[in-house]
Structure 1
Amino acid sequence: MSNALGDFLRARRTDTRLELSERAGGRRRTTGLRREEVATAAGISVDYYTRLEQGRETHPSDAVLEALARTLRLDADAREYLHRLRGPHPSPTRAGMRASAEARALTARMEVLVEAVRPNPAYVLDRLSTVIAANPEGLALHEGLADLPPAQRNTCRSLLLDPRARQTFVEWEELARGAVAHLRAANVDDLEDPELVALVGELRAQSPQFETWWSGHLVQRRRGAITHVRSADGTVLARRYEVLHLPEDGVRMTLWLPAAP
Structure 2
Amino acid sequence: MDGELGAFLRSRREAVQPAQVGLATGARRRTPGLRRAELATLAQVSIEYLTRLEQGRDTRPSPEILAALADALLLDDADREHLRQLAAANHSRSLCPGERPAVSRTVRPTVRAVLDALRDSPAYVLNRLGDVLAWNDPFDRLARPLGLFDGHRPNLVWFVLSDERARDHFPDWAQLADHQVAELHRLRQGDRATDDFAERLARTVGAPFTQRWQRRPVTAPVTGVRGLRHPEVGLLRLTYETLEFADSDHQRLVVHLPADAATAAGLDRLQGRLPGHLRSVAG
* TM class by smaller structure: 0.7 to 0.9
TM-score (norm. length: structure 1): 0.87
Match of 2:230? 231
Does the C-alpha gap of structure 1 residues 112 and 176 become closer, same or farther in structure 2, counting only changes over 3 Å? Answer: same
Structure possessing the higher radius of gyration over alpha carbons: 2
Quote the offset at 1:27 in angstroms: 4.5
Matched position secondary structure for 2:102: helix
TM-score (norm. length: structure 2): 0.80
Quote the offset at 1:16 in angstroms: 5.4
Structure 2 Cα separation of the partners of residues 12 and 136 of structure 1: 42
CA-based RMSD of the aligned residues comes to 2.4
Q: State how many pairs are aligned.
A: 250
1:119-141 deviations in whole A, cap 9, x for unaligned? 21111111111112111332433
- Residues 243 and 252, structure 1, Cα contact 8 Å, conserved in 2: yes
Quote the offset at 1:196 in angstroms: 1.2
Does the C-alpha gap of structure 1 residues 210 and 116 become closer, same or farther in structure 2, counting only changes over 3 Å? Answer: same
Bigger mean CA deviation after superposition, 139-148 or 3-12:
139-148
Moved over 4 A (4+): 16-19, 24-27
Does the C-alpha gap of structure 1 residues 141 and 222 become closer, same or farther in structure 2, counting only changes over 3 Å? Answer: farther
Match of 1:40? 41
1:187-246 deviations in whole A, cap 9, x for unaligned? 12x24x1x2122101111122211100011111244100121111146212110001112
Match of 1:249? 248
- Residues 184 and 218, structure 1, Cα contact 8 Å, conserved in 2: yes
Structure 1 Cα separation of the partners of residues 103 and 156 of structure 2: 22
Does the C-alpha gap of structure 1 residues 7 and 19 become closer, same or farther in structure 2, counting only changes over 3 Å? Answer: farther
Match of 1:148? 151
Match of 1:7? 7
Structure ranking higher on relative contact order (CA contacts 8 Å, 6+ apart): 1
Quote the offset at 1:78 in angstroms: 1.4
Superposed counterparts of 1:150-189, under 5 Å: 152-188=153-189
Superposed counterparts of 1:96-111, under 5 Å: 96=102, 104=106, 106-111=107-112
- For structure 1, the 5+ residue unaligned runs are none
Does the C-alpha gap of structure 1 residues 257 and 17 become closer, same or farther in structure 2, counting only changes over 3 Å? Answer: farther
- Residues 129 and 155, structure 1, Cα contact 8 Å, conserved in 2: yes
